[in-house]
Each structure stands twice: as structure tokens, then as C-alpha cells.
Structure 1
Amino acid sequence: MQSMARHLQVVALVLLVLLDAAAAGTTTASSSTVVAGMVFCDQCKDGARGLFDYPLYGARVAIQCGGGDSPLTVRECNTNWFGGFSVRMEGTPEMNRCTARVVQATGHCGAATPTAPRELTLAFRMLGLALYTVPPLLSQPLRAMDFCPAPPVALAPSSSSSPLAPPPVSPPLPPLWRRRPRRLPPIWTPTLPKPEPPVETTTTPPPPPPQGSACTFDKWAEIGLHGCNWKVVTPNTTVAMAFGPAAAQRYGSEMTLREALEGRGDMYRTLLREATAALLNAYYNAPAAGFLYPTTASVIDHMNGALLGSPERVLLEGARFRRANSGGGRITKIPCDLTPCT
């Protein structure tokens, strides 16, 4: 599966290179070199691309050569909406000893220091075109997100590093005729202790499950708009950053979550309004609190499925989001419990 995914990524990068060349008015007959790759936001800070990582838009990538403590930067470019980047250079220089790294990221994944550079690999060379690819580049936030799984706990090594000593060897028994006769022990009558009265033990009842909160879009606009109840995202976070490329194509790159809560009159604006309230409720609740969408990833997946589906799917997902925001939980009805901001 990893090999197939690698081949699909190379094919996608080749298509991206050809589209960029066509847009620039050039053909593959001219001698040129292209470096292509993708940048992801490593939300769990595990150093590898995982389920919760998403393509990072607007990240600044530098192509550097020379090695050492101060390599030479030959080209820089920004990633597109799908997290991809493509750098084209005239001629066919040797790029095997060059690297690519993220020098400036965006959003909460741009707060921490970017990861180490990755080496370039020659994918193919034909018709005067040399394509170099790079493994996925990762940019990390200051700390891992709350929904990430906990890392495994390493067992402490044993304090005793010396090998086990062999068991002692008992001396051989003397011959039977030299053994002394055994004396029987005296008869001993045990004294039974007096039974003690039973001790009453009280069992502590298990703690109650965490109380969840489900609030509609108007409650978030009225009580939580000042930001004291917002987690991870803010009212000024863009819809494109919160929901990804599909939402950016539908609603543009400038609309904020504050504006998304005011959507009315159109089924796609209604879907965005209810999905934004569901996303805020998922960030506000713990996974076991009983909210219908236990994680923010489930809200984003249903939102993208509706945007890429039929109009009937848009109406259905909007109704499901509205039911969850109105308190419809997995077990019982959930109240709205937002702290008024001062």
C-alpha cells in the first residue's frame, strides 16, 4: 500500500509539473529541472504523516544546496491550497546533494521550529526534463493537539545489569551407614486465634461521566463570540484553515468563522453555519462527553463529504449538524453550558 501511494504521489507531481509548464508557456522540449513535493501540518508531533495531519497552505519552502551549517538557498516558493509546491529551474544541474525544508509555515503549525530538511530524489529524466521529488515535509505546532493519542510509555531498564549467579550446589549426602538416625519432633498443638469481627468496607461509587455541552450557532454568536469558550480556533480563523481545501473552494479564502455563524438563505451557507457550530462544540467537549460528533476530525469529514456530494447530501448533513448542536447526543439530550465571557 505504501508503494502504491508513493507511485500515485509521483504521478500527481508529474501532472503538477506539466500543468505549471503549460501555464508558463513552455514545453518539455527545453532543458529544465523541477523540484516538487508537499507540506503537511504534523498536529500530533510524531514526526510522521498520520491520520490527523492535513496539507498546509501558504507554507514557504526553500531549496538549499551545499550542505554544512549555512547551505546556499537556490530557490523559494509557497505551497498551494493542496499543500503542494513546484520549483522550476533552467538547465539540468545535479540536485542529488540538495535538500528542501520549510522555512516559514502558517496557522498554529507555524509557531514551532520546522523539522529537519529532506533530501531530493531524482524521479525521472527524459525529453530534457529532470524531476526531483522530496518526501513529505512536516511543520509542527508548539504542542500536540488534545485529540492526539498518547505516546507509548517506555519501560525502565532493570537496575541489575550483572548476569544471574548460578544456584549454590549442595554437598553430596554421606553413605547410608554413616547417617545419624533422625529424631522425631515433639508433638505441637497449635493455638487457634480468636476470630476478629468483620470490618465493614465502604465502596466508593465510580465518578459520574463528564457532562457535555451542545450549543446552537446563535448561542455561540451571542455568548461565545468573545473567545473565552473557543479552543484551538478563534473567531478570526478562516473557514479554509478550519475545514480544508474543499471549503476554501466553495467559500473563498477570506471568510472567517465569525462570518460563518451568520450564514442564512442558502443551503451551502446553512451547512457552513451548522458545521461551524458543531466544530466548536467538538473542540469544547471531551471525547466521552456524549456529543454526537466525538472528534473534530469527524465533523470535518462529514463537512467535506457534503461539499463533494449531491445537494441532497448537503441538506442531510446540515440537518444532522443542527440536531447535534440542539443537544441530540448519543445517549441523552445534552444542555448548552457556555461560560459567559466578561
Structure 2
Amino acid sequence: MEFTKPIFVLILLFLARAAESWTGEIHGRVVCDVCGDSSVGPEDHPLEGAEVAVLCITKSGEVLNYQAFTNSKGIYKVAETMPESDRWDSCVTRPMSSFHAHCARRGNAYSGVKFTYSKPSGSFHVVKTFLYRPASSPAYCM
């Protein structure tokens, strides 16, 4: 039984350290609104490589600035693990650029989304979809 005591102590130390940390995640989508109708429909497609800025203020007052890019499904993610006392308090997320010449004009009426981050550790917050639109819509949209 002497052999299992050190392992038990190590497990307790690991769990105590894990309880002190906090993990949060923010994610959302960026889509090309082909018809410019401000809604996501079957004609629309995700924008890969679109840039999104995420700015968060922590409970301790620190300002954290993140830069994220969308994957092939148009999804971006920002995740952070930090001490519980420094966790995110409020954040603002905004689209920065599309990098797609065919769909580069911002389509949303809002330029950013501000929210309070009150999720427990290990949870995530989903931000509204950001839309970009082409300079002119195809004829089938009319």
C-alpha cells in the first residue's frame, strides 16, 4: 500500500491545480451572403480565411486581443486557459476582412457583437454569423 500513496497525492495535486484554472472558447461563422438578403440560405457559402478580431476584458481588468481566421467551413475559434481570477468578463467580436474578391463587402448591419462572458469553465459562446456580400448579386437572386 505504500506504493499507491504517492500516486494518490499526485492525483490530488493535479486536481487542485485544475480547479484553479478556467478555460473558455468563443466561436462563430463567416458566410458569403450571395444574394445580399441578410440571411443564410442554400445559395450562400462559408468563407475560408476570413479574419475576425476578438477583444476580451478579464475580471482582473486586463485587455486581451485575439486574431482568428476561418477554416474551410467558415468557422473561427478562440480559446484560452487562464487562472479563474483572470477569466474573461466581457468580449467584443468583429469581422475584419474577407480576402475573397468576389465577396468582400460587409453585409451585416452591425460591425461587431459585444457580450458578457459568464460561461463556466469548459463552455463556449457562439457569436452571430458575420456576413459578407458580393458587389452585385447574381441574376437568380432577383
Query: Same fold by TM (over 0.5)?
Result: yes
With over 3 angstroms needed to count, the CA separation of the structure-2 counterparts of 1:58 and 1:31, relative to structure 1, is: same
Distance 1:120 1:43, change over 3 A: farther
Residue 141 of structure 2 is aligned to residue 141 of structure 1: no
Higher relative contact order (CA 8 A, sep 6+): 2
State the shift of 1:32 in Å: 1.9
The 2-side partners of 1:114 and 1:73 are apart by 27
Looking at structure 2, the residues matched to 79 and 113 of structure 1 have their Cα atoms a distance apart, in angstroms, of 15
The structure having more radius of gyration, on CA atoms, is: 1
2:88 aligned with 1:93: yes
Match for residue 103 of structure 2 among 93, 109, 115: 109
TM-score, normalising length: structure 1: 0.29
In 1: Cα distance, 2:116 partner to 2:139 partner: 35
Aligned length: 111
Q: Name the structure 2 match of 1:59.
A: 50
Is it true that 1:31 corresponds to 2:17 in the alignment? no
Matched, 1:45 2:40: no
Deviation (angstroms), 1:120: 4.1
Identity, in percent, stands at: 27
Unaligned runs of 5+ in 2: 1-17, 58-62
Aligned partners of 1:123 and 1:133 also within 8 Å: no
Letter in 1 for 2:113: R
Q: Offset at 1:41?
A: 0.6
Written as runs of structure 1 = structure 2, the 5 A alignment for 1:145-160 is 145-148=138-141, 150=142
Counterpart in the other structure of 1:118: 113
Distance 1:133 1:53, change over 3 A: same
Q: CA-to-partner distance for each residue in 1:215-273, whole Å, 9 max, x for gaps?
A: xxxxxxxxxxxxxxxxxxxxxxxxxxxxxxxxxxxxxxxxxxxxxxxxxxxxxxxxxxx
Work out the CA distance in 1 between the residues paired with 2:64 and 2:135. Answer: 26
The residue type equivalent to 2:67 in the other structure is: E
CA separation of 1:120/1:50 partners in 2, compared to 1, >3 Å: closer, same or farther? farther
Q: CA deviation at 1:139?
A: 1.3
Q: 1:79 aligns with which of 46, 70, 79?
A: 70
Cross-structure match for 2:6: none
In the TM superposition, 1:1-342 aligns within 5 A as 29=18, 30-64=21-55, 74-91=65-82, 92-95=87-90, 98-107=91-100, 108-110=102-104, 112-113=105-106, 115=108, 116-120=111-115, 124-125=119-120, 128-148=121-141, 150=142
SS in 1 for 2:34: coil
Q: Counting strand residues as a fraction of each chain, which structure ranks higher?
A: 2
TM-score by length of 2: 0.65
CA RMSD of aligned residues (A): 2.5
Which residue number corresponds to residue 26 of structure 1?
Answer: none
Write the distance in 1 (CA, Å) between the matches of 2:122 and 2:34: 36
Whether contact under 8 Å (1:33, 1:90) holds in the other structure is yes
Contact 1:120 1:133 in 2 (8 A): no
Give the Cα–Cα distance (whole angstroms) in 1 for the partners of residues 93 and 119 of structure 2: 18
Q: Given residue 109 of structure 1, which amino acid in structure 2 is its aligned partner?
A: C
Q: What SS class does the counterpart of residue 89 from structure 2 fall into?
A: coil
Which is richer in helix? 1
